[in-house]
Structure 1
């Protein structure tokens, strides 16, 4: 029999999970975690690896479609950053400008990805592969700025007061390690990680992202 304390704890977790998954960020991180888990799982399941990988790709495609509704909020964020800059409310300059760069880059990323997606669907005449390559470059640029920003925050606050920031830094670094592996050029470790290694880093970043929302 389940005692009342366990049942109450279970109900609390269900309520919390429902709240997290009711937000865009929560659903995105959950789908991302599941997609990379399946990608990782496909490397160990020889019998159904193709089917598992196909499902992982469907989840990634679902995230791409969902991201197309982010454009208004990204433009709003850019406007808020400009207003803060215009009024002189920037705080630490390095932290502000790297954060602004992340927002600006992701805003451009969203537009380029939209063009790539529509080109992939043959609705536009652009070369989708080339546009997706630029998406990767933009994403890595945003990650670099995010990593610099987190290092600055940790430096200013001190390591003892920066547990969440350290976790964020680990997540960003994990994404960067996996993302750089996808570069078409033989730069650093680009192309040298196996699918299993790359998926492991991406899954770690995804779990950290979901954990931060919990």
Structure 2
């Protein structure tokens, strides 16, 4: 089957397919053309060229395949061979060849096919005939090995039984891959595999159960050091002892460890208690049809979403922070000084509540900092990883400094109020530095993604950009207001009105609450 977009076929004495976008050319796609003297495929964008695509062209006098671009990497020269046509021209094409193909072209019998074509956007096959593919990072290729390794790949999904039927492979290693979806039963059919290794992979789509992690067939299964985006149902499941062996050595999201979740309630992450569905009856009994479930109205979704936000630590923290700065702004506008002082005293209770609640986030932050050396080998962007790790370390030290300041203010450490103010001042400096690094990291991610995408932005990319811009606004507002609280002489410290600082902090708090609904 030849999949093309209409409007690019020209039929005269010969069949001409020019400047088309072709999804794939399957085996025998051009077979059975009895009334066409020649076939020309020129200047096309082809995703996949299957082996045997030119089979069945026994009545064709000439087959021309020139100036085409084949995007999918080809592992062998089988896609370039033909049967039937009396004359075959294959030249000036741009082919994305695999390492295996780059090693194959050193054989003399392949030179006639590949010398006049291009491997990738820059390298010419003719050049590769005289230089070792090892210069391009390709290890020497051998025919089907006893070990199948799939490393550092971007995989859309792994369907059920995707790796079944591997009879000549002793072991399969999937390592350091970016996987969108891992379907239940993906490892079924691997009865002849001795060892299946699934390590250092990232699975982006949330998994609702542990069925995706089970295997059938392989004699030995290693599943460790993976980053999994798990649903609330999965977070509750892992409290069961029989699941610990699968999940104890993997990560749930970028920060939380499954092992930590075994000892702390998932409710802290905003997950309502979940129970598995009851088993179905062996003999189903007829039951009257259920009435249609009423659709939820927007008026009922808002309270549910807000209650879910308040169940999370970040949601509660940003909400309390928004209330605090709202009360501060109201107190600054009151003309009655007595009522203003009372309202400020009431607002300080919200600030003290946030300070105490932040202390309980330090254990999870400490765990993430301790895992930095271990996670360093999994990172592909060293600069981004360094920025993220530095931010985590700064927030950890900031929390400890605030704790010492709180103990000093209560009289447990130190003797004067000046000591507590000194510690809170140091915490403020650490927070300002963390905000500056957050802004730099956010800007760098936006610039890199914009440069990579150019003018073609998918819907997911636009959503990501919107989230990043909202985060950048929040970080910037907090940074401008926080610098004003530093000692005088540092940047613009002390030059802004208190109401202006409170307005900026309130804007950053509202941004934080808004992000919880996204």
TM-score for the superposition, normalised by structure 1 = 0.92
Is 1:31 paired with 2:320?
Answer: yes
Q: Distance in 2 between matches of 1:149 and 1:195?
A: 29
Q: Distance in 1 between matches of 2:397 and 2:408?
A: 17
Q: Distance in 2 between matches of 1:45 and 1:10?
A: 34
1:183 is paired with a residue of what secondary structure? coil
Aligned structure 1 segments of 4 or more residues deviating by more than 4 angstroms: none
Is 1:109 paired with 2:398?
Answer: yes
1:179 aligns with one of 462, 471, 482: 482
Displacement after TM superposition at 1:156 (Å):
1.4
Q: Distance in 2 between matches of 1:53 and 1:44?
A: 12
Structure 1 unmatched runs, 5+? none
Q: Distance in 1 between matches of 2:302 and 2:344?
A: 30
2:356 aligns with one of 65, 69, 81: 65
Q: Which residue of 2 aligns with 1:124?
A: 413
Structure with the largest fraction of strand: 2
Task: Figure out how many residues of one structure are paired with residues of the other and give that number.
Answer: 208
Displacement after TM superposition at 1:56 (Å):
1.5
Q: Which residue of 2 aligns with 1:152?
A: 444
Q: Distance in 2 between matches of 1:55 and 1:150?
A: 35
Displacement after TM superposition at 1:71 (Å):
1.4
Displacement after TM superposition at 1:157 (Å):
1.7
Q: Distance in 1 between matches of 2:477 and 2:383?
A: 22
Give the stretch that moved more between structures: 96-105 or 43-52.
43-52
Q: Which residue of 1 aligns with 2:381?
A: 92
**Native 8 Å contact 1:90 1:96 kept in 2:** yes
Q: Which residue of 1 aligns with 2:515?
A: 212
Q: Which residue of 2 aligns with 1:133?
A: 425
Displacement after TM superposition at 1:201 (Å):
0.5
Q: Distance in 2 between matches of 1:38 and 1:91?
A: 45
Decide which structure has the larger Cα Rg and report it: 2
Displacement after TM superposition at 1:188 (Å):
2.1
**Native 8 Å contact 1:42 1:50 kept in 2:** yes
Q: Distance in 2 between matches of 1:91 and 1:37?
A: 42
Q: Distance in 2 between matches of 1:148 and 1:91?
A: 18
Displacement after TM superposition at 1:65 (Å):
0.7
Q: Distance in 2 between matches of 1:14 and 1:184?
A: 43
2:300 is paired with a residue of what secondary structure? helix
Q: Which residue of 2 aligns with 1:53?
A: 344
Q: Distance in 2 between matches of 1:81 and 1:169?
A: 24
Q: Which residue of 2 aligns with 1:12?
A: 301
Q: Distance in 1 between matches of 2:374 and 2:378?
A: 8
**Native 8 Å contact 1:74 1:107 kept in 2:** yes
Q: Distance in 1 between matches of 2:394 and 2:340?
A: 35
2:311 aligns with one of 8, 22, 39: 22
**Native 8 Å contact 1:94 1:152 kept in 2:** no
Structure 2 unmatched runs, 5+? 1-293, 452-456
Q: Distance in 1 between matches of 2:374 and 2:389?
A: 12
Q: Distance in 1 between matches of 2:476 and 2:350?
A: 23
Residue by residue over 1:163-209, the C-alpha shift from the partner in whole angstroms, topping out at 9 and shown as x without a partner, is 11011011001000000000112222100111110001000000001
Q: Identify which of structures 1 and 2 has the higher relative contact order when contacts are C-alpha pairs closer than 8 Å and 6+ apart.
A: 1
Q: Distance in 1 between matches of 2:373 and 2:366?
A: 11
Displacement after TM superposition at 1:80 (Å):
2.9
Q: Distance in 2 between matches of 1:12 and 1:185?
A: 47
Q: Which residue of 1 aligns with 2:222?
A: none
